[in-house]
Structure 1
Amino acid sequence: MKYITVTMDNGKQEKLEILERIDINNKHYVIVAPEDSDLAYAYRVTVNGNFEEYESIGAGKEFDAVLKKYNEIVANS
């Protein structure tokens, strides 16, 4: 299992498990979840040198496209 650590809006750092990596239109995303939780989040991934940066995507067309792709992957596995 792979994990990322992100700083939440409240300033708290949270360790999130990467459930899936998704590519859509040359953009990279991860679906992540806290341990022992049914919640999941979508983050856009940007490569900056040797590091990956993660930016949360909120509701909207981008989120809907990522959710649709993730549901297709889950349905086919």
Structure 2
Amino acid sequence: MHGGGVQLVAESERELVVRMTGLCAGCPYKQPCIDGTLRPLLAHLGLAVEVVGWRISDEARENLRTWKGRV
């Protein structure tokens, strides 16, 4: 186990609100993990996800999405 995880904070019919815990909370790969794994999985189930407890600018998020497509 790597010492991190995702904690469910709240839920509604169409959205889950989660918080990254443990080592995941400070991981530099948190955003690619969320956008590349968590969001697509939940979108497949018809759910959106909001991550609370940290911020990333819209510009940085878009840069990560663009970068992810090149890998």
TM-score normalised by length of structure 2: 0.36
If each structure's helix is expressed as a fraction of its own residues, which one has the higher value? 2
**Greater RCO, 1 or 2 (C-alpha within 8 Å, sep 6+):** 2
TM-score normalised by length of structure 1: 0.34
If each structure's strand is expressed as a fraction of its own residues, which one has the higher value? 1
